[in-house]
Structure formats: structure tokens, C-alpha cells
């Protein structure tokens, strides 16, 4: 029988574990050789923005214009998740959630001005992997967009605290925003081109130039390849995350890729050659990583995961094209709002268009040409990568993701074990707070304050996304008991996590920090 003192020590130990979120069981000595893990994170790539069907049963779930042959091959070589979700419909909160395995509700941007300072002790993907097996080398290349420094998060090699500007034309000093905007406006006026809808510009006009490393796609790829080569030479397993700036605004690509799409017949839903070119360059970078894995002969011990950080943008707004001599050659307004069909809405929104994203994985033990309809989320990566590294994340209350490894390796498994049977989404960062919760095919969306964009939208909506993927019909009156259950569970979780549900503070500490790194606008993030 345990003494009271012993029990007290155990309780204290558990509490400390919960508060620090550092519960990882190291790898066992008899464990087989630890695999390499490659995680490719794309930016603002919507669910339908590939040239393969995001859902084989839905013809409209592929692009009718864009080309992504390497992503297509990646999906065909492993498992394609038709219901893969980003943790959040906006860049930075999504990346925080990915790194910590935590729901965005736990990230109190404005309620606690110093919340981000507390993250230094939180469990992160590289920390969890290294705790499982200290032999791992870890690296992050590309867009960071998290308040914690990458080295503090546990990355041995990284590009620093990069944000959106790292891969954009403006961040490279090519043309600044004001100069570009004025030039584009003058071009439109001189050529008598009108904005047909008087749509608000995104604040960062787009363009392309004849550059062999547009959006730093190939720079990120090269740095990752060098890191992998060094790791293999040292005989050590590695985790490397390639967080691309593409396909976020601005629209920058290689000139030859742009010319190809400019001469290609537009589709019905996807028409923009600038975006198509950037996405194709991004896909080429993905293919270079896949080829390198084969070249290094590590394919049988390497996992590759790819997902988008949030849903695709609905509109690209003002487009301005420049050549290699910095000359403005074209400008127009893109008012296309159907880019994410058959999904509703896009980035910023908790409708499917804002959070359902490309999501695929390939590696040893994963059956090729497999399609999984099990809902998965970026929150699942932390427990999953830790398991692959040979460890085990103790599922404390603060870990919201689940271990996907059984699902990846066994096609008969159709569930990810998490602390909750509900998928919950919440954001309050730099926006008016809103939430969503899903159980089975039923999904509830709740707005905590009335927003201009949704002024005619009920505060609470219920959808059956199995029958109504486009979320066209609010069925809350038809299923009041289900709506009540979902809203009750949502409120319970948000209360437990002390989530931010009040009106946003635009001077919030987190975004004051991020604004030091870039010029941001409501439409850009």
C-alpha cells in the first residue's frame, strides 16, 4: 500500500507534467532504426488546388487549371486524407497549434499580453522527437510565423523568426508595397481598366519576376537537402520541416512558369496564371525532395507528410505583373470568389473552405494508392511524429491531437484516438472570435460577436457535411438536440481552456510582436 507521502509526490509529479506539457516516453533500446521524417507545409493552398482529386468521389475536388504532378504522385504513393484539417483558418495560429499539438483556444493572444512568453516551456514537435530519441537532428526552413524562436522550440538548424515577408517580392527589396500599389493603380487608370466590384485590395499587390528562386522555394529545398545529406552522412535520423511561403500572397514565380500558364486555357473555377505558376514552382520543389530521398537511398526509412496551413483565399484581389527589369507589364483585379468550390468560403472562415486542406503521407508501412476518409488534423502531428521517432506522448489534458500511426499503418483502422471525440476549432487572434465543432458528419459553427462579413448569418449554424459538403443549408431547427450537444461541448471546452471569446484587441501583444516583423492587414493574414 502506498503511503500518503508517496501519493502526494505522484500527484505533484502529474501536475507538473501537465503544466509543462513535457510528457514524452523515450525510445526503447530494442526499437528498430528510427525513421527520417519530412514535413512539408504549404501556405494558403486550398483543398481543391491540386491536379488530383482531393476526394476521388468528387470530380470537382481537383483544379481545372493548376498542375501539381509531384503532389499527385505523393498522394498516389501513400495515403490521401480526404478530410484533412488545418488547426486554424489563418496562418500564425495554425502554425502555433501545429508546433504545440494544441487547440488554438489555448493560445490567448489578447486576454494575456504575455501568453507567448509562457510557450518556452511547452512541448514542441522537435522537443518531443528528441526526447523520444536524442540522436535526431532537427531543422526548420522557410516561414516560421510563431512568437517563439525556432532554436528555443528545439530546432538545431533554422532560418530564424521568418514571417510572410521572407519569400515575397517586398521582403526582398525588389519593390516596396507603396511603390507597387501606386504603379499598379496608374497602370489600371492609364489603360482604362476598372475594378468591376470595387473590391478592397489585399494591401500587397502581386507580381512575378524572372528569378530562379521565386518565393525562396528552391532555397528552402536546397537547405533541406543539404541538411538531410549531412544527417545521412553522420548516420543520424532527422526531422526536417519545410514551411513554404508559397502559395501565400504575393504571387511570385519563375518567368517561364508564368508564361506557360499565361498561354494555357483558363478553367471555370481556376483562372489565374500568376497563382498557377507559383503553385507549379512549389510543386517542383516538392518533387525535388521526393527525388532526393530516392537518390540518397533512404526511401525505405523515410516518411513524407504534406498539408496546407489553412484553406485557400477566396479572391486574389489586385494583380500586378512585373518583368525582370522591374517594369510593370500588366495589372488587373481578380474578383473570382469560387476558387474553393465545392467547399464554402475560404481562408479566415470555419466553413470547410477555410480549414479543409491537402493532407497526404507516404512512407514505410503505408499502403500506396490508399484513400482515408477518417478526419485528421494538424494537431495530430506532434503525437504521430513522436511515435514514429520511437517515443510516446503522454496524452495530458493539454495535448489535443492524437496518434495517427495506427491509422497510417493499418488500413482497417478508421479512427484517431484523441482526448476528445469532438474536433474543435477556435480562433481569436487578430479577428473577431469564432469557433466550430464537429462530431461525425455534424458540424456546428458559432460566432461570438457580430461581424460585418456575416451580418446576415445566424450566431449558431449546424450542417451535415456528409450530405451537404458545401454547407448550404442550416439544419439547426431540424436537429435541435444535436445542436445543443455540440454547442454545450464547445462551450465546455472553451471555458476549460480559458479561450478568448471577447471582441478582439487590435493592439494585442502577440500581433504587436508580429507586426514588428512585417506589415500586416486584415485581408492578408
34-421: CATH, from 3.40.190.10, 3.40.720.10, 3.40.630.30, 3.40.190.290: 3.40.720.10
- Cα gap 159→366, rounded to integer Å: 31
Q: Residue-wise pLDDT tens for the chain (525 aa)? A: 444 444 434 333 333 333 344 577 765 543 448 999 999 999 999 999 999 999 999 999 999 999 999 999 999 999 999 999 999 999 889 999 999 999 999 988 777 777 878 888 899 999 999 999 999 999 999 999 888 889 999 999 999 888 876 555 433 333 445 666 667 777 777 877 765 443 344 444 555 565 788 889 999 999 999 999 999 999 999 999 999 999 988 788 888 998 999 999 999 999 989 899 999 999 999 999 999 999 999 999 999 999 999 999 987 777 777 777 777 777 777 777 789 999 999 999 999 999 999 999 999 999 999 999 999 999 999 999 999 999 988 777 789 999 999 999 999 999 999 999 999 999 886 567 899 999 999 999 998 876 656 667 779 999 999 999 999 999 999 999 999 999 999 999 999 998 888 765 444 444 434 433 333 333 444
* pTM given for the model: 0.88
Report the Cα 346 to chain-centroid distance in Å: 13
* Cβ–Cβ under 8 Å, residues 63 and 269: yes
The residue behind cell 531543422 is 139
Is residue 39 within 8 A of residue 244, CB to CB? The reply is no
Residue extents of the structural domains in the chain? 34-421
Q: What pLDDT does 22 receive?
A: 52
C-beta neighbour count of 258 within 10 angstroms: 26
- Cβ atoms within 10 Å of 197's Cβ, excluding its own: 11
**What count of Cα atoms within 13 Å lies in the side-chain half-sphere of residue 299?**
11
Q: What angle do CA 438, 500, 14 make, to 5 degrees?
A: 80
Cα–Cα distance between 286 and 246 in angstroms, integer?
12
Distance CA 383, CA 274 (A): 37
So what's the pLDDT on residue 175?
A: 46
Amino acid at each position: 500500500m502506498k503511503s500518503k507521502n508517496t501519493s502526494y509526490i505522484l500527484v505533484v509529479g502529474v501536475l507538473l507534467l501537465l503544466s509543462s506539457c513535457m510528457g514524452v516516453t523515450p525510445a526503447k533500446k530494442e526499437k528498430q532504426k528510427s525513421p527520417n521524417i519530412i514535413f512539408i507545409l504549404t501556405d494558403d493552398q486550398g483543398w481543391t488546388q491540386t491536379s488530383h482529386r482531393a476526394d476521388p468521389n468528387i470530380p470537382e475536388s481537383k483544379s481545372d487549371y493548376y498542375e501539381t504532378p509531384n503532389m499527385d504522385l505523393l498522394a498516389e504513393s501513400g495515403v490521401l486524407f480526404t478530410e484533412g484539417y488545418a488547426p486554424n483558418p489563418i496562418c500564425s495560429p495554425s502554425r502555433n497549434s501545429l508546433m504545440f499539438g494544441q487547440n488554438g483556444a489555448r493560445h490567448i493572444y489578447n486576454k494575456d499580453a504575455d501568453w507567448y512568453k509562457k510557450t518556452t516551456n511547452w512541448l514542441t514537435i522537435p522537443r518531443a522527437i528528441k526526447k523520444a530519441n536524442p540522436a535526431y537532428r532537427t531543422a526548420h526552413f522557410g516561414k516560421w510565423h510563431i512568437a517563439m524562436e525556432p532554436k528555443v522550440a528545439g530546432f538545431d538548424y533554422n532560418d530564424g523568426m521568418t514571417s510572410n515577408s521572407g519569400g515575397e517580392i517586398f521582403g526582398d527589396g525588389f519593390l516596396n508595397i507603396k511603390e507597387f500599389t501606386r504603379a499598379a493603380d496608374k497602370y489600371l487608370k492609364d489603360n482604362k481598366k476598372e475594378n468591376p466590384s470595387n473590391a478592397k485590395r489585399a494591401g500587397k499587390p502581386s507580381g512575378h519576376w524572372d528569378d530562379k528562386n521565386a518565393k525562396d522555394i528552391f532555397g528552402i529545398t536546397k537547405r533541406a537537402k543539404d541538411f538531410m545529406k549531412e544527417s545521412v552522412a553522420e548516420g543520424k535520423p532527422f526531422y526536417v520541416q519545410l514551411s513554404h511561403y508559397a502559395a501565400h500572397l504575393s504571387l511570385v514565380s519563375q518567368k517561364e512558369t508564368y508564361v506557360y500558364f499565361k498561354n494555357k486555357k483558363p478553367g471555370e473555377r481556376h483562372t489565374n496564371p500568376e497563382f498557377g505558376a507559383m503553385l507549379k514552382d512549389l510543386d517542383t520543389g516538392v518533387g525535388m525532395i521526393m527525388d532526393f530521398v530516392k537518390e540518397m537511398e533512404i526511401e525505405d526509412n523515410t516518411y513524407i507528410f504534406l498539408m496546407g496551413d489553412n484553406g485557400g483565399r477566396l479572391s486574389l484581389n489586385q494583380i500586378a505583373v512585373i518583368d525582370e527589369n522591374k517594369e510593370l507589364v500588366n495589372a488587373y483585379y481578380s474578383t473570382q470568389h469560387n476558387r474553393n468550390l465545392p467547399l464554402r468560403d475560404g481562408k479566415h472562415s470555419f466553413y470547410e473552405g477555410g480549414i479543409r486542406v491537402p493532407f497526404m503521407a507516404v512512407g514505410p508501412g503505408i499502403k500506396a494508392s490508399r484513400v482515408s476518409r477518417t478526419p485528421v488534423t494538424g494537431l495530430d502531428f506532434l503525437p504521430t511524429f513522436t511515435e514514429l521517432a520511437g517515443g510516446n506522448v503522454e496524452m495530458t489534458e493539454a495535448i489535443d491531437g492524437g496518434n495517427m500511426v495506427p491509422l497510417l499503418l493499418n488500413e482497417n483502422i478508421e479512427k484517431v484516438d484523441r482526448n476528445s471525440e469532438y474536433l474543435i476549432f477556435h480562433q481569436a487572434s487578430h479577428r473577431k472570435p469564432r469557433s466550430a465543432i464537429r462530431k461525425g458528419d455534424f458540424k456546428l459553427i458559432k460566432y461570438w460577436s457580430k461581424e460585418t462579413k456575416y451580418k446576415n448569418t445566424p450566431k449558431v449554424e449546424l450542417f451535415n457535411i456528409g450530405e451537404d459538403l458545401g454547407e448550404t443549408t442550416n439544419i439547426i431547427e431540424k436537429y435541435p438536440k444535436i445542436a445543443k450537444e455540440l454547442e454545450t461541448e464547445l462551450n465546455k471546452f472553451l471555458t476549460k481552456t480559458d479561450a478568448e471569446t471577447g471582441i478582439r484587441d487590435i493592439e494585442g501583444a502577440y500581433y504587436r510582436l508580429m507586426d514588428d516583423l512585417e506589415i500586416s492587414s486584415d485581408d492578408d493574414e
